[in-house]
Amino acid sequence: MTNIFRISLITSAVMVSFSAMSALPQGYPADYQKVVDGAKKEGKVVVYSTTDTKAAGPLIKGFESTYPGIKVEYNDMNSTELYNRYISEQASGGGSGDVVWSSSMDTALKLATDYAQPYKSPEQGQLPKWAVWSDKAYGTTYEPVVFIYNKRLIPAADVPDSHTALAKLIASQTDKFKGKVTTYDIEKSGLGFMLSVQDSKADPNYFKTLTDVAKGGLTVQSSTGTMMERVSSGENLIGFNILGSYAEARAKTDPSLGISYPKDYTLVLSRVSFISQQAQNSNAAKLWLDYVLSEKGQSILANQADIPSIRNDIEGNNDIDGMTKRLGKALKPIPVDETLLEYLQPKKRLDYIKQWRAAAAK
């Protein structure tokens, strides 16, 4: 064997080795390469999500760029549709999502208790303890829940900065706000139901507050997009229990849409994700989840998708540190734990909906 040929072989081996190692995220264990290799053989990951495809676009692009040859089949649906579809597919044993990623934290955790495969992400140490459940379900975002209002039709001096102020504003001007207040339909939206329950836990006077807020009559919807559109057009004047991430993204290009962060308490939602026990693309699912939780993935969410990061080491102010500096003790993160499941018991859920409808005059 000539020296030139020997050097060429050594160089090729080094290049192959470097190529393999370069696919590993920094700080990950060496045996993670097996996950990467397995994912490349699978060639795709199927994601069931409530996050809008447009908002998730930069994340999908970043993932496919980082791992060429692994495609993301992204299915965007509302929380109730996701829950029902996933359960039906699990029961039938057919194809389904490899990964679930839902803003409806309670129904997502319910699915995780029944269908998630255990997986300890290498990114777990970068997350708050309340955001990880049993090495199965992970909180992936840190999203304050806000009020929105029409800036053209509500004077700055009237903009409410607390739930009590919102109730007083509407109760004092019932004619102005008649049919002009919007929120989630808690029977059609899993997210809306979960946020209402969390309100009732945060505020002992929640149902009285809701009665005052509903004095002008509530217009309920099943999606954030519809509520923002109606408030922006003036068809509605104000909305509550809106995901701040979507509102902030829209407000950048919509001068009519105002946002208020309640100072008495601000619920913080974290989109819950888990890997399906029967994932057909299990390695690619692990790769996707880890990417979503990684500094790179979280930076894309925070700075390109306007969805606040669950980490505290992301450049800019759209992470836990940035939100804490802005809202301090008002922030009330909803933990990813069994307390989410309490109101999913059929009788308790039905009783709660009846109480809500009575207070909201629905």
Got the DSSP string for 110-126? HHHHHHBPP---TTGGG
Q: What is the per-residue pLDDT for 185?
A: 94
Q: Which single residue is written with the structure tokens 């309920």?
A: 220
Residue type, 53: T
d(CA 257, CA 252): 9
269: tokens are 């939602």
**SS3 category, 321:** helix
251-256, Cβ contacts within 8 angstroms, sequence gap of 24 or more: 252/306, 254/228, 255/151, 256/150, 256/151, 256/152, 256/231, 256/232
What pLDDT score does 22 carry? 45
**DSSP assignment letter at 30:** G
Calpha distance 139→150 (Å, rounded): 31
Q: Exposed, middle or buried by CB within 10 Å (0-12, 13-18, 19+), for 190? A: buried
- Reported as type and span, the H/E element at residue 99 is strand 99-102
Q: What is the pTM of this model?
A: 0.90
Residue 121 has a pLDDT of: 97
Identify the pLDDT of residue 21: 39
Tell me what pLDDT residue 216 has.
81
Cα separation, 153 vs 234, in Å, equals: 7
Q: Please give the chain's pLDDT, 362 residues, in tens.
A: 555 444 444 444 334 433 443 457 788 999 999 999 999 999 999 999 999 999 999 999 999 999 999 999 999 998 889 999 999 999 998 899 999 999 999 999 999 999 999 999 999 999 999 999 999 999 999 999 999 999 999 999 999 999 999 999 999 999 999 999 999 999 988 899 999 999 999 999 999 999 999 998 899 998 899 999 999 999 999 999 999 999 999 999 999 999 999 999 999 999 999 999 999 999 999 999 999 999 999 999 999 999 999 999 999 999 999 999 999 999 999 999 999 999 999 999 999 999 999 999 87
Give which of 175, 174, 197 is closest to 184, Cα–Cα: 197
End-to-end alpha carbon distance in the chain: 86
State how beta strands 44-49 and 99-102 pair. parallel
pLDDT of 18 = 34
State residue 23's pLDDT score: 57
- Strand, helix or coil at 183? strand
Please give the Cα distance from 362 to 359 (Å, whole number): 8
How far apart CA 356 and CA 129 sit, in angstroms, is 32
Residue 43, pLDDT score: 98
In whole angstroms, what is the distance from residue 342 CA to residue 351 CA?
Answer: 12
For residue 49, give the H/E element and its range: strand 44-49
Q: How many Å apart are CA 262 and CA 165, to the nearest integer?
A: 9
Q: How many CB atoms lie within 10 A of CB 34?
A: 11
pLDDT of residue 321: 95
Q: Report the alpha-carbon distance of residue 31 to residue 188 in Å, rounded.
A: 44
Collapse the DSSP code of 256 into the 3-class scheme (helix H, G, I; strand E, B; otherwise coil) and give the result: coil
Compute the C-alpha angle 168/170/175, nearest 5°: 135
For the chain, domains (ranges, CATH) are 11-140+271-318 (3.40.190.10), 143-268+341-360 (3.40.190.10)
Buried b (16+ CB within 10 A) or exposed e, 273-311: bbbbeebebbbbbbbbbbbbbbbbbbbbbbbebbbbbbb
The whole-angstrom separation of Cα 195 and Cα 201 is 10
Token pair belonging to 132: 């990880």
